[in-house]
């Protein structure tokens, strides 16, 4: 039963049309005191409405969109995030990573997380093998992690994950239950910033394309493949979280990654393990070799760079009177 | 197992940045031969990316968005469409209706469908009572339906639905199973374009606000109420499908409908049934009276108006070289 004397103290909304509805939705959404939420909603509603106005969206297309989004939501489970997949395949994920984690020229670039990171990986010691795949091509990985000033970073947490030789991550195995992670591990860099491990050469794979996102790619005549790569995620107090991956040069999908993740600075040529290396690291002579020196950016430098780039972008867009409060961009209301 | 010699014949995509990712996503999406899909995707991706660039969206905000959309999808069932509710509360539904169903000045305006239309309503004869609510205030409804030239429209299918006296639609009753629809009916206009029926005075109600959309409204400090109204949907061969509603003047939410549906031309003053009317229509003297003359627009006029408005809007936006093919706007590629 409605309150017989409700208090309604909001802007008057009536006779809304194609031309005035946007400003009126802004008005009623502006009741929140959260300046960031207000700004996000203002931009969101503007773009949503402009999209409909510029396409002259029909009711049946709108309904197709509603049904598509509903199907995307229904496809999500604990081990499948179809909305992230949608974001990845529309380039939004890479864009947001680029905005939130700007990198100075001297540092390692970031890229998309992808849908297969888990929290199941075991802590392993340096020199361990992260893959139990007997069919994989053995790969020795010799890496370092340093700061932009070249100082080794000790005890960084490094999360690594890759496909097996068939192009599957462990979570895709039918009998996977989280107890026996494979093709993934968490390592810690030593006092010299060094970490090394044994793995297998990763191969290309299809993103899960049996859902609505796969159907969309199909309609767009896009293939669902990602090029061969190995994921790395770095965490270390005082440094910006780095999510990145190394890609193998010459992969058939090197220049057409379905989630737009490949950057030239992250493409590597695999070498071959020398007899000396084979002996030193306990691998077979002639095994493949991956070497890479990762460079992390300090939190402080990242924050400074992020804020600078935000203000520069606003200036370029002609959006004056913006401020950064708590690291987030909002209209400056003084 | 990946195809060992895959053919990859797509634009080269690598080293994508904040500034160049949008054009590159367009390039790979442009492989489809469906000109309308291509245009829709081009506008969608542009707005999605601009939204992220203009807000400098953070990774945690992006994740909050992913989780919100997932929750919206999970809330959808056969009798609850949370994405439509989201569209309604962001003003998109009213906007799309306005674009797709333009109305000349002489015709009845459309408004949002709302979440409570069903296909369960029974066909009833003119003069029937559509509500079995014993607590409702009796309402006699005397209506006509005509063309813009004033010609009565006979045998129009009219779908009518309204709340009971507590503000609930039948589908909200706990024991509702579709077998005993209440507060709804399908009528047919007579040869004079007349249709009349008995109902109860509708009251305000809350949209279903126990889901993620309700939580968003709460964050935005928006109330979840719709003002009292009765829904009407008209179908007649040769005429544009009309979805509309009549609102009661003086309702506490008349100017703050949470889904932006109220238009002055659809606001009615209820009268009182005269002794003569009471006798003629078989209702109690002093019952409330609603009278309205609906005017439908022909398919042809709607199509002409829709195309005209689309081209006018494109001109205003400076988007030249657009064409309308099969009723849908696309870039003109010759």
Can you tell me the distance from the alpha carbon of B284 to that of B1, in angstroms, rounded to the nearest whole number? 77
In a domain, A5, yes or no: yes
In a domain, A70, yes or no: no
Can you tell me the distance from the alpha carbon of B331 to that of B36, in angstroms, rounded to the nearest whole number? 8
Inter-chain residue contact B255 with A8, CB threshold 8 Å: yes
Q: Are A146 and A182 in contact (CB under 8 A)?
A: no
Which of A4, A6, A12, A14 is best to mutate for the B interface (most B CBs within 10 A)? Answer: A14
In a domain, A76, yes or no: no
Token readout for B95 is 């906007």
DSSP assignment letter at A129: B
ipTM score here?
A: 0.93
Q: What is the mean pLDDT of chain B?
A: 93
**pLDDT band at A14; cut points 50, 70, 90:** confident
In a domain, A65, yes or no: no
Inter-chain residue contact B10 with A74, CB threshold 8 Å: no
What pLDDT does A80 receive?
A: 87
In a domain, B1, yes or no: yes
Distance of CA A242 to the CA centre of its chain: 10
On the question of pLDDT at A197 being above 50, the answer is yes
Are residues A191 and A326 located together in one domain of the fold?
Answer: no
Option in B11, B41, B317 nearest A220 (CB) = B41
B56/chain A closest Cα distance in angstroms: 6
* Ramachandran class of B15: left when φ > 0, alpha when ψ lies in -120 to 50, beta otherwise: left
Handedness of CA B163, B165, B166, B170 (dihedral sign): negative
Percent of all residues in chain B with a pLDDT value above 70, rounded to a whole number: 97
**pLDDT band at B180; cut points 50, 70, 90:** confident
Output the CA–CA distances (angstroms, integers) from residue B148 to A143, A180, B102, B267, in the order listed: 77, 72, 13, 20
Inter-chain residue contact A83 with B100, CB threshold 8 Å: no
The A residues from 81 to 100 touching B (CB cutoff 8 Å) are 81, 83-84, 87, 90-100
Are residues B38 and B147 located together in one domain of the fold?
Answer: no
* Average pLDDT value for residue range A268-287: 95
Are residues A26 and A122 located together in one domain of the fold?
Answer: no
**pLDDT band at B78; cut points 50, 70, 90:** confident
Are residues B125 and B253 located together in one domain of the fold?
Answer: yes
Residues of B in Cβ contact (< 8 Å) with A45: 90-91
Are residues B321 and B289 located together in one domain of the fold?
Answer: no
Token readout for B99 is 């674009």
Which of B1, B34, B39, B58 is best to mutate for the A interface (most A CBs within 10 A)? Answer: B58
Inter-chain residue contact A99 with B52, CB threshold 8 Å: yes
Give per-residue pLDDT as tens, A206-251. 999 999 999 999 999 999 999 999 999 999 999 999 999 999 999 9
**pLDDT band at A334; cut points 50, 70, 90:** low
**pLDDT band at B191; cut points 50, 70, 90:** very high
Are residues A185 and A321 located together in one domain of the fold?
Answer: no
Output the CA–CA distances (angstroms, integers) from residue A66 to A60, B68, B69, B87, in the order listed: 10, 15, 12, 9
Are residues B318 and B287 located together in one domain of the fold?
Answer: no
Can you tell me the distance from the alpha carbon of B93 to that of B87, in angstroms, rounded to the nearest whole number? 6
Q: Which residues pair with B289 in a beta bridge?
A: B140, B271
Q: Are B25 and A294 in contact (CB under 8 A)?
A: no
What are residue A13's phi and psi, to 5 degrees?
A: -120, 115
B227/chain A closest Cα distance in angstroms: 10
In a domain, A303, yes or no: no
In a domain, B289, yes or no: yes
Token readout for A129 is 């093998």
Q: Are B181 and B120 in contact (CB under 8 A)?
A: yes
Q: How many CB atoms sit inside 10 A of residue A300's CB?
A: 11
* Average pLDDT value for residue range B205-212: 94
B108 touches chain A (CB under 8 A): no
On the question of pLDDT at B229 being above 50, the answer is yes
Are residues B156 and B229 located together in one domain of the fold?
Answer: yes
Percent of all residues in chain A with a pLDDT value above 90, rounded to a whole number: 85
B324/chain A closest Cα distance in angstroms: 10
Can you tell me the distance from the alpha carbon of A80 to that of A118, in angstroms, rounded to the nearest whole number? 11
What pLDDT does A4 receive?
A: 44
**pLDDT band at B223; cut points 50, 70, 90:** very high
Are residues B211 and B151 located together in one domain of the fold?
Answer: yes
Are residues B285 and B311 located together in one domain of the fold?
Answer: no
Residues of B in Cβ contact (< 8 Å) with A97: 59
Percent of all residues in chain B with a pLDDT value above 90, rounded to a whole number: 85
On the question of pLDDT at A1 being above 50, the answer is no
In a domain, B39, yes or no: yes
**pLDDT band at B13; cut points 50, 70, 90:** confident
On the question of pLDDT at A263 being above 90, the answer is yes
**pLDDT band at B175; cut points 50, 70, 90:** confident
Are residues B23 and B98 located together in one domain of the fold?
Answer: no
Option in A49, A81, A253 nearest B91 (CB) = A49
Inter-chain residue contact A13 with B262, CB threshold 8 Å: yes
Domain count, chain A: 3
Give per-residue pLDDT as tens, B298-333. 999 999 999 999 999 999 999 889 999 988 999 987
The answer to which of A276-280, A325-329, B46-50 has the lowest mean pLDDT is: A325-329
Token readout for A293 is 């020196």
A327 touches chain B (CB under 8 A): yes
B16 touches chain A (CB under 8 A): yes
On the question of pLDDT at A170 being above 80, the answer is yes
Return the CATH number at B193: 2.60.130.10
**pLDDT band at A8; cut points 50, 70, 90:** low
* Average pLDDT value for residue range B92-115: 94
On the question of pLDDT at A7 being above 60, the answer is no
On the question of pLDDT at A2 being above 60, the answer is no
Percent of all residues in chain A with a pLDDT value above 70, rounded to a whole number: 97
What pLDDT does B286 receive?
A: 87
**pLDDT band at B5; cut points 50, 70, 90:** very low
Element (H, E) at A231: strand A229-235
Give per-residue pLDDT as tens, A122-153. 999 999 999 999 999 999 999 999 999 999 99
Inter-chain residue contact A57 with B14, CB threshold 8 Å: no
**pLDDT band at B8; cut points 50, 70, 90:** low
Residue A180 domain boundaries: 82-297
What pLDDT does A213 receive?
A: 98
- Comparing B11 with A318, the larger pLDDT belongs to A318
* Average pLDDT value for residue range A305-317: 94
**pLDDT band at B148; cut points 50, 70, 90:** very high
DSSP assignment letter at A298: B
Inter-chain residue contact A83 with B95, CB threshold 8 Å: no
Inter-chain residue contact B59 with A21, CB threshold 8 Å: no
* Average pLDDT value for residue range A95-121: 93
Beta strand A157-162 with B322-325: parallel, antiparallel or unpaired? unpaired
Q: Using CB atoms within 10 A of its CB, is residue A163 exposed (0-12), middle (13-18) or buried (19+)?
A: buried
Inter-chain residue contact A263 with B45, CB threshold 8 Å: no
Residues of A in Cβ contact (< 8 Å) with B71: 73
* Average pLDDT value for residue range A311-331: 91
Give the 3-state DSSP-derived string for chain B, with helices as H, strands as E and coil as C.
Answer: CCCCCCCCCCCCCCCCCCCCHHHHHHHHHCCCCCHHHHHHHHHHHHHHHHHHHHHCCCHHHHHHHHHHHHHHHHHCECCECHHHHHHHHCCHHHHHHHHHCCCCCCCCCCCCCCCCCCCCCCECCCCCECCCCCCCCEEEEEEEEEECCCCECCCCEEEEEECCCCCCCHHHCCCCCCCCCCCEEEEECCCCCEEEEEEECCCCEECCCCCHHHHHHHHCCCCCEECCEEEEEEECCCECCEEEEEEECCCCCCCCCCCCCCCHHHEECCEECCHHHHHHHCCCCCCEEEEEEEEECEHHHHHHHHHHHHHHHHHHCCCCCEEEECCEEEECCC
What pLDDT does A178 receive?
A: 74
- What does chain B come to in residues? 334
Give the angle subtended at the CA of B302 by the CAs of B297 and B308, to the nearest 5°: 145
Output the CA–CA distances (angstroms, integers) from residue B38 to A221, B30, B334, in the order listed: 11, 6, 16
* Average pLDDT value for residue range A312-325: 92
Are residues B247 and B206 located together in one domain of the fold?
Answer: yes
């Amino acid at each position: 039963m409605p309150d017989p004397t409700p208090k309604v103290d909001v802007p008057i909304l009536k006779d809304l049309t194609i031309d005035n509805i946007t400003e009126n939705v802004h008005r009623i959404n502006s009741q929140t005191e959260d300046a960031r939420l207000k700004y996000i909603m203002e931009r969101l509603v503007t773009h949503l409405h402009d999209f409909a106005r510029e396409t002259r969206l029909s009711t049946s297309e709108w309904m197709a969109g509603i049904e598509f989004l509903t199907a995307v939501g229904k496809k999500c489970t604990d081990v499948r995030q179809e909305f992230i997949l949608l974001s990845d395949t529309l380039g939004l994920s890479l864009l947001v990573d680029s905005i939130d984690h700007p990198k100075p020229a001297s540092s390692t670039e970031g890229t998309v997380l992808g849908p297969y990171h888990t929290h199941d990986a075991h802590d392993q010691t340096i020199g361990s093998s992260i893959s139990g795949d007997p069919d994989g091509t053995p790969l020795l990985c010799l890496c370092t992690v340093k700061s932009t000033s070249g100082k080794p970073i000790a005890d960084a947490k490094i999360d690594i994950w890759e496909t097996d030789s068939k192009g599957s991550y462990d979570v895709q195995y039918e009998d996977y239950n989280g107890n026996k992670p494979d093709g993934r591990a968490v390592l810690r860099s030593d006092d010299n910033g060094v970490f090394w491990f044994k793995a297998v050469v990763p191969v290309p794979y299809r993103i899960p394309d049996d859902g609505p996102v796969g159907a969309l790619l199909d309609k767009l005549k896009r293939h669902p493949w990602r090029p061969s790569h190995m994921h790395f995620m770095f965490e270390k107090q005082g440094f910006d979280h780095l999510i990145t991956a190394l890609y193998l040069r010459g992969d058939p999908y090197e220049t057409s990654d379905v989630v737009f993740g490949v950057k030239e600075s992250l493409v590597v040529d695999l070498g071959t393990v020398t007899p000396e290396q084979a002996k030193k690291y306990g691998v077979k002579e002639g095994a493949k070799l991956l070497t890479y020196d990762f460079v992390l950016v300090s939190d402080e430098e990242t924050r400074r760079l992020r804020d600078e780039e935000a203000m520069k972008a606003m200036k370029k867009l002609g959006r004056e009177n913006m401020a950064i409060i708590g690291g987030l961009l909002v209209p400056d209301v003084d």
